[in-house]
A and B are shown apart, each in its own frame.
Chain A
Amino acid sequence: GIQVEQSPPDLILQEGANSTLRCNFSDSVNNLQWFHQNPWGQLINLFYIPSGTKQNGRLSATTVATERYSLLYISSSQTTDSGVYFCAGRNQAGTALIFGKGTTLSVSS
């Protein structure tokens, strides 16, 4: 199966700062998604983004499928953005999503 590498593993920010999270894939992927895991453990869908760019409020994401990476941008971060961010994808031969290890974001006021 594919390998999914997320960076950085940890990120500490002051409220109001911007950040970029990166996800690299070892093979071409379909079904690329970004999730935020809330403090109770639920995975919240942020973006379904096999290619291109999408924006939702202060968050945006870009996937460059030909170069096998995706970026998640968080602007004007807030304390409620804290938590673990996961990217996940499926390669052509696979069925389920393969997850990266996540980026743990801590935003302080």
Chain B
Amino acid sequence: DVKVTQSSRYLVKRTGEKVFLECVQDMDHENMFWYRQDPGLGLRLIYFSYDVKMKEKGDIPEGYSVSREKKERFSLILESASTNQTSMYLCAARRMMNTEAFFGQGTRLTVV
């Protein structure tokens, strides 16, 4: 199985800060994803990358950007953190379209 590692398990940031969430996978998978999970709303897709430097907006991209300069790393950037971005963030990787996706351990971000 692929190993997906997120840089932090817990993170506390201040309003207005620029925040970087890092995700690394070890199997040279093409597809990578960022989701956020909120009570009552479930998991929602923020961004999807289907290859290096390639990205697609998901359902809730506002306030976020992403970077994928190398295949193994997919970064989620909060340009100016706000309290409504307090959430659980989950990264996933998948070899290609019709294959199994694997998730990282998640990052609980609190913006104060």
Contacts and interface: CB of A to CB of B under 8 A. Distances in A.
Interface residues of A, number: 23
Nearest to A40: B105
Nearest to A44: B103
Given A30-B98, A95-B97, A100-B42, A40 B50 contact: no
A30 B99 CA distance: 9
Interface in B55-112: 56, 58-59, 88, 90, 92, 97-106, 108
14 contacts: A30-B98, A31-B97, A35-B103, A43-B90, A43-B92, A48-B100, A50-B98, A86-B43, A88-B43, A95-B48, A95-B50, A95-B97, A97-B101, A102-B42
A31 B99 contact: yes
Contacts of A97: 33, 92, 101
Interface in A90-109: 90, 95-102
Contacts of B100: 31, 33, 45, 48
Contacts of B31: 95
Interface in A58-106: 86, 88, 90, 95-102
A102 B88 CA distance: 16
A84 to B, nearest CB: 10
Contacts of B59: 1
A41 interface: yes
Contacts of B9: 40
Contacts of B45: 96, 98
Given A31-B98, A31-B99, A95-B56, A42 B104 contact: yes
Given A31-B99, A31-B101, A102-B42, 6 more contacts: A45-B102, A48-B100, A50-B98, A90-B97, A95-B31, A99-B35
A92 to B, nearest CB: 10
A83 B87 CA distance: 19
